[in-house]
Structure 1
């Protein structure tokens, strides 16, 4: 598995959680659980991706701008999550905020998969793509394990 395939595994999970969140009813506990699952997935993925994928790409002139942009989008999503955390899930405006978050997640994933992956694919060797995947998967697992405790 290369780095792009490894990242898409979490991307698919994020999409599924976002869809479940948008389809959730006003029942606070179920909606809150889905939100927490999405929050956890985003946090673990973002951290592992930044450490194991973006940092090496910042070293290349051709991908530094795209990597910085993607990190900025991670920060924006983190702020949206933080805003939602401070409000009741069945309160006024919460679903609008959740919708905005889910739209931002989808925008970020689509942009990454359709533009950034292609740019990164041009600067990384096949060996690097495989090595980065192993690094990312190990970091993701470590972070997920520490988040669960």
Structure 2
């Protein structure tokens, strides 16, 4: 029996951690140190996860006609999510608008990861053999660590924040 974590299980573990961070941020108020710390942690987590996921898994799945459409869809959503994160970073955390944007972001991001887990990952699992899985997992872990070390909160200019 194979007890090694698969790359898709590894991605779901990250998703669960991201859900926890979203829940914690939702409980914060105003421009607090806790909100800033959690938002920075979430941003670094999401950016490094998306980059590593694209490099380790999506790069392989794009080449497979069976799942390339789903893969392109997820990559496009990563770009939308990144833009929403940047907009949140540009918004004054003490304003009521910040939490409204955050709630919209939270809903959008949860939709994305639920869609990946429920729709895409089962299809990907059919395309990934054991050897490919080991390589993807290794690449994901290496890239995530490197990407997280480089990730930062990158706000749009405050004057460019969406209303």
Q: TM-score, normalised by structure 2?
A: 0.86
Q: Which of the residues 86, 95, 99 maps onto 1:95?
A: 99
Pairing 1:121-132 to 2, within 5 Å after superposition:
121-132=125-136
Partner SS state of residue 67, structure 2: helix
2:156 equivalent in structure 1: none
- Tell me, in whole angstroms, the C-alpha distance in 2 between the residues paired with 1:47 and 1:147: 10
Aligned equivalent of 1:62: 66
Which of 25, 29, 35 is the equivalent residue of 2:33?
29
Measured in 2, the distance between the counterparts of 1:110 and 1:41 equals 17
Counterparts of 1:116 and 1:102, CA distance in 2: 20
* Structure-2 separation of matches of 1:145 and 1:85: 19
Q: Mapping of 1:7-46 within 5 angstroms? A: 7-46=11-50
Pick aligned residue for 1:50 from 27, 48, 54: 54
- Cα deviations by residue, 1:16-71 (Å, 9 ceiling, x for unpaired): 11111111122432212211111111100000001111010000001100010001
Query: For 1:5 and 1:141, how far apart are their aligned partners in 2?
Result: 17
Structure 1 gaps, min length 5: none
1:73 aligns with 77
Tell me if 1:135 matches 2:146: no
Alignment match, 1:84:
88
**3-state SS of paired residue (1:135):** helix
Q: CA RMSD in A?
A: 1.3
> 2: distance between equivalents of 1:142 and 1:79?
21
Judging by fraction of residues, say which structure has more helix. 1
Q: Distance in 2 between matches of 1:124 and 1:70?
A: 17
Matched residues, number: 148
Using the alignment, how far apart are the partners of 2:93 and 2:31 within structure 1?
8
